[in-house]
Amino acid sequence: MPRLPDNPRPALLDTAERLLLRYGYRRMTVDDLAREAGIGKGTVYLHFDSKEEIALAVVNRWNERVFDRLRVVAAEARPPAQRLLRMLEARVLGRFDQLGDAPESMHDMLAAIRPALLIQRERLLDAEARLFAGVLRDLAPGIRPSEPVLLRTARALLTGTNWLLPYYQDPSQRGTRAEVQRRTRDVALVLVSGAKQVLKGTGVGK
């Protein structure tokens, strides 16, 4: 058996991600994870208390990857409205791409880890909202950074695209990537147009 790295957690998460996408949450077991990773089951439990914790860590990884991409797009040398459109598309398609051809709905996994996921989700949404708020401020440079309308508008952009996220849809509902991209662009155009009007209504929007 190959020597384990000093910190096998990333490799375990890589394996867990593959198994979740291959089998789905209900069919994946800790025994599967240990066997696929080439380690003992006890070693898995040195790093995770349960299958639920493993799933939560995988979802957290997916979200972190998307957030990293959002930060890149937010810093691009483009007009703020274009950056907002690209960010909304990235937050949906980034998650769609990571799920790939998942064999089942993610509802079972989300239900199993719901309490911890809600806490994690609020932290993520807060971080995303602040990132979007920074770009919205570029859209209306006369607004103070602490102006509440920026975060409220950013939250509205996120809420308006949350229903497109693949976690809450069966595979049959997701459609193709091209279909998801088209729906996301349509929704994003409406949302960004509305955001412009909201900020313009403050008297300082440009």
* Domains, in order of start, for the chain: 1-48 (1.10.10.60), 51-200 (1.10.357.10)
Taking only the tens place, the pLDDT of each residue in 145-183 is 788 999 999 999 999 999 898 877 766 777 888 999 999
User: If we measure between CA atoms, which residue out of 166, 184, 180, 34 comes closest to residue 102?
Assistant: 166
What pLDDT sits at residue 2?
A: 41
Kindly calculate the radius of gyration of the chain based on its CA atoms and give it in whole angstroms. 19
Amino acid sitting at position 204: V
CA angle 55-59-63, nearest 5°?
165
Taking only the tens place, the pLDDT of each residue in 112-140 is 777 877 788 888 899 999 999 999 999 98
Taking only the tens place, the pLDDT of each residue in 181-191 is 999 999 999 99
What pLDDT sits at residue 3?
A: 45
Average pLDDT, integer, range 6-28: 85
**Where is pLDDT greater, at 52 or 109?**
52
